[in-house]
Structure 1
Amino acid sequence: MVIPLDNVVLTGACGGLGQALAQHFLATGSRVALVGLNRPVLEALAAQAPSRCRIYTPDVSDSAAMQAMAGDWIAQMGLTDAVIANAGVAGGYDTAQAGDLAVFRRMLEINLLGVATTFQPFVAPMRERRHGLLVGVASLAGWRGLPGNGAYCASKAGLIRYLESLRAELRGSGVGVLTVSPGYLRTALTAGNRFAMPGLMEPDEAAHRIAQAMVRRREHCVLPWRLGLLQRLLGWMPAAWTDALLLRQPRKPRVGEPGATPIPGLTSSHEKN
């Protein structure tokens, strides 16, 4: 089944994958709501097709702000064909560090709660129209816990289960749910990684494959599929073996360490801990 994607809402439009997705849909003639926190980046994207774009800069975990965004977009551009919840943050985590609890909380707010607040205003209109697609960008890191990456893995594992639940609830309604599980993409979120990143993909290629999965009404999209297969194989190994293998790898930088990416909404005191 092939569906039109003439009207798209995209969060996380400032990041590497988000910009690639925005450029893809703008190039195909779609109307695109560009949701992110870096206004200059959003303005540069919108300049490619100003009559088909609107810029929004809410905190995706703020339900009132996301409802206002959705209401304005629908009023200005009409009902939405697809909502892509792409906003996300990443960072290392150490349970022994009290300051990292704030990192954990904020990561859950953005990576998990932010998807629900993004989808919520669009579900009823889509269901009433019996047409629409909800896309959640999860991660292969949600398939298995990784040492030093517990907050990110937990947020993405929770997202995968949330999307699974939502898909079951909407089955037969005409509204589809697509779970995207990327591996390593060449973006700011991976730039500081000190460990091997097998299957590293360019954002443009990932965006193209995600768009294909959307048009074909897929329910799952793994990028790249070979890394997904490797992840499955690791899951079949005894946990002690996999843990021993993973513990040899350098850990993802924590907030405040060299190579770490900033997490919006954290106070400076949290970032120093």
Structure 2
Amino acid sequence: METVHWLIKKARQKIMDHQYLINEVLADRYKIEKVLQNGSYGIIYLCEDLPTGTQCVVKQMRKSKGKENTENYHQEITILKQLSHPGIPALIETFSFEDKQFFSMEFVEGKNVEDTLFATGQQYTEKECLEIVRKLTGIVCYIHQQGVYHGDIRIPNVLLHHSHLYLIDFGLASNLHTEKRLKKQQTLLAQDDFFDVGDFLLFLLYSTYEGKIKKRGSWTEELSLHPQTTLLLKRLLSITEPYRQCEEIQSDIEKAISQLS
């Protein structure tokens, strides 16, 4: 019975969530060059914006997700319209095509951190890790000042390109301007983002770890870190007193970098 339900679900998705092909043109403007991601909530294409000749990213929302995805669509585009930061790809426009909802965004060069570490074997020193996280924290501080909490700061959602860092995918973000009920949860939403920043930092720090990672091993035992970095991580991960303000994190990152210099 489960197999039958799965097959019905897949058939429904195929009908409702038609995936467009390479070289097809969406809304007489966006020529598809590549499918970047076929996710559970949307299909993401790399396109040529024909009027300008530049590359951009187009996200197609899945109709099969119904009302939930419609709400996510409006939430995400509202947030993107609200934000203006060099580390966040800018929204170009929203549009409908063949009864499906889309939005287009600026394309930024870069690989996500997961690909950078696993595909190329890139390694970062402790200081380099902190410098990368300093940039990420700067973006997090900015969005929090705008009343936005990302809620999904994971390695696939952080892009690196030379000295530039970008935070992408605001599909699960919370917006205090449109969800007033969340104001009471503001501190928890912030600390969820801070925890993700700590988890991201740990991931980077393990790029130079050469020992065998034990299932029950602790990073405090496996990594040899400067005490200031350890303090930073413990507070980010709420092992000790958690951070309440983003600016506190920035201050402690600066201290750690200066002490490693």
Q: TM class, shorter-chain normalised?
A: under 0.3
Larger Rg belongs to? 2
TM-score by length of 2: 0.26
TM-score by length of 1: 0.25
